Amino acid sequence: ERTRVAIIGGGPAGLLLALILHRAGIDSVVLERGSRDDVLSRMGADMLEKATTDILRTAGVGGRLDREGLVHDGFDIAWRGEVLHIPLRDLTGKTVTIYGETELTHDLYDALDEAGVPIIHGAEDVRPQDIATDAPFVTFHTVDGEHSLECDYVAGCDGFHGVCRQTIPADLLRTFERVYPFGWLGILTRTPPIQDELIYAHHARGFALCSLRSPQLSRYCLQCDAGDDVANWPDERFFDELEARLPVAVAAHLKRGPSIEKSIAPLRSFVAEPMGHGRLFLAGDAAHIVPPAGAKGLNLAVSDVHYLSRALIAHYRDKDDQLLKTYSETALARVWKAERFSWWFTSMIHMFGEEGTFSQRIQEAEFDYLAGSQAAQTALAENYVGLPY
C-alpha cells in the first residue's frame, strides 16, 4: 500500500488536511484509532475565528457553516456584578462564528466520503517509521490484519496523547508546559442560551462561562478543583453554583435543563518544538495545547493545517520545499501568540485562591484597565477574533 501523505489522526486537523490536499490533487490516507462515532461524540470547541471560517469555505465545507453558524459581534466579561461588553466588530472589523466542533467534523467526514478519500478507522498500534529517511512508512493493524503504508510524508494529527510527537528523537524535542491549578467542569443542555453572546464571568467563587452551540443548545462551564469528580456535581448543584457566579440580572435569564454531557477537563498550556522532524510534521493538539479560555485550540489546528497544506502543495505542484523547511518556524510563530493570549486571558479571568495578595490586586487592576481603555479592549479583541496569518 502506498500514498503520498499518511495522516495519523482523524480529528478536525487530520480530516481538514486530507480534504485540502485532495482538492489540490494530492492523495492521502487517514489512519484513525477510534470509530467514527467515537470521534463525533467528543465535545470540543465552539468558536471559529474569521480566518478559520474562510479556510473552511475555501476547502468546500462552508455550506452548513454559513447556514447554521451564529455570527457574533462581541462578548461580555462579568466582573463581580459589573458587565463589560467587548464589541469585537466595532474594535476590529471582524466577527467570530459559533459552530460546534462536532458539526464541523461531521461536515468534513461528509466531504471526504463524497471525495472518496480513504479513512481507516480502528487503526491500532500506529507507528510512523524511518521518518528521517526519504522512504518513510507507517505500520498499523486493523481487524483485517497487519498493514504497512509507504508514503512521502507523515502528518501527525493525533492529538495531545498521540504517538507522532514521541517519534521525534528526545534530544531534538523541547517541550514547554504550564499546568493550571484548576479544571473546567462543563455541561451541555438542550435549553436556549442565557443570552445571545458569550459571557466570561470572574467571581470570588471561581470563573464561570456561559456559551452555546445553537439557539437550542447551551454550554456552561465552571472553574473547579483539578481533582474534582463529575459525580460530585448533580445538575441542580451545577446550576446553583453557576447562578451564584453570575451577575443577578444575567442569572435571571438562566434556563435550567438536564445535562446531556458533563465532563471535567484539566487546563494546560503546552508547546512542542520543533513541529516536525525529517518527513514527519505535527499539526494541532499533537504539537500544542492551550487552556480553553480564549477558544484557540481548534483555530490553531486549522492554522497549522493551512501552513502545512500550503507547504505540501508547493512541494508537489512547484517542486519547492522552502515552505516545508520553514513550516515549524512559521506555525510556531502564530502558536506562541495564541499561547500568550490564552495564558493571559486564563490568568485574568480565573480565581487563583490569592484573595488579598499582590497577584489579586494586579488582577483587579487588569480588569479596571480593560474596562477604561479602548486600546486594551482592542488588544483583547484582535487576539480573540484571531491574529493575521
- 74 near ligand RFL, judged by CB under 6 A: no
For residue 331, give the nearest of 384, 291, 381, 271 by alpha carbon: 271
Binding positions for ligand RFL, 236-265, rule CB under 6 A: 263, 265
Binding positions for ligand RFL, 327-386, rule CB under 6 A: none
CB of 366 closer than 8 Å to CB of 31: no
Cβ neighbour number for residue 196 with a 10 Å cutoff: 14
- Residues annotated as catalytic are 72, 200, 292, 296, 384
Nearer of residues 7 and 323 to ligand RFL, judged by Cβ: 7
- 197 near ligand RFL, judged by CB under 6 A: no
- 163 near ligand RFL, judged by CB under 6 A: yes
* Residue 263: CB minimum distance to ligand RFL, A: 6
With contacts defined by CB under 6 A, name the span among 30-38, 81-89, 130-138, 342-350 that binds ligand RFL: 30-38
**Among 74, 276, 278, 297, contact with ligand RFL (rule: CB under 6 A):** 297
Cell for 59? 476547502
Binding positions for ligand RFL, 98-127, rule CB under 6 A: 101, 123, 126
Nearer of residues 34 and 192 to ligand RFL, judged by Cβ: 34
- 301 near ligand RFL, judged by CB under 6 A: yes
With contacts defined by CB under 6 A, name the span among 41-49, 76-84, 92-100, 233-241 that binds ligand RFL: 41-49
* Residue 305: CB minimum distance to ligand RFL, A: 9
How would you write the chain as a 3-class SS string? CECCEEEECCCHHHHHHHHHHHHCCCCEEEECCCCHHHHHCCCCCCEECHHHHHHHHHCCCCHHHHHHCEEECCEEEEECCEEEEECHHHHHCCCEEECCHHHHHHHHHHHHHHHCCCEECCCEEEEEECCCCCCCEEEEEECCEEEEEECCEEEECCCCCCCHHHHCCCCCCEEEEEEEEEEEEEEEECCCCCCCCCEEEECCCCCEEEEEEECCEEEEEEEECCCCCHHHCCHHHHHHHHHHHCCHHHHCCCCCCCEEEEEEEEEEEEEEECCEECCEEECHHHCEECCCCCCCHHHHHHHHHHHHHHHHHHHHHHCCCHHHHCHHHHHHHHHHHHHHHHHHHHHHHCCCCCCCCHHHHHHHHHHHHHHHCHHHHHHHHHHHCCCCC
**Among 27, 36, 40, 43, contact with ligand RFL (rule: CB under 6 A):** 43
* Residue 332: CB minimum distance to ligand RFL, A: 15
With contacts defined by CB under 6 A, name the span among 6-14, 67-75, 79-87, 376-384 that binds ligand RFL: 6-14
With contacts defined by CB under 6 A, name the span among 27-35, 53-61, 66-74, 344-352 that binds ligand RFL: 27-35
**Among 6, 8, 199, 335, contact with ligand RFL (rule: CB under 6 A):** 8
* Residue 239: CB minimum distance to ligand RFL, A: 19
With contacts defined by CB under 6 A, name the span among 199-207, 249-257, 294-302, 330-338 that binds ligand RFL: 294-302
Instruction: Measure the CA–CA gap between 72 and 211, rounded to whole angstroms.
Output: 12
With contacts defined by CB under 6 A, name the span among 28-36, 110-118, 131-139, 334-342 that binds ligand RFL: 28-36
- 159 near ligand RFL, judged by CB under 6 A: yes
Nearer of residues 14 and 74 to ligand RFL, judged by Cβ: 14
* Residue 369: CB minimum distance to ligand RFL, A: 26
Cβ neighbour number for residue 205 with a 10 Å cutoff: 12
Which value, to the nearest 10 degrees, does the dihedral of the CA atoms of residues 237, 239, 243, 246 take? Answer: 120
**Among 107, 158, 273, 339, contact with ligand RFL (rule: CB under 6 A):** 158
* Residue 101: CB minimum distance to ligand RFL, A: 5
Nearer of residues 226 and 362 to ligand RFL, judged by Cβ: 226
- 42 near ligand RFL, judged by CB under 6 A: yes
Angle (CA) 37 41 42, round 5°? 130
Type of residue numbered 3? T
Give the binding site for ligand RFL (CB under 6 A): 8-14, 31-34, 39, 42-47, 101, 123, 126, 157-159, 162-163, 263, 265, 284-285, 292, 295-299, 301
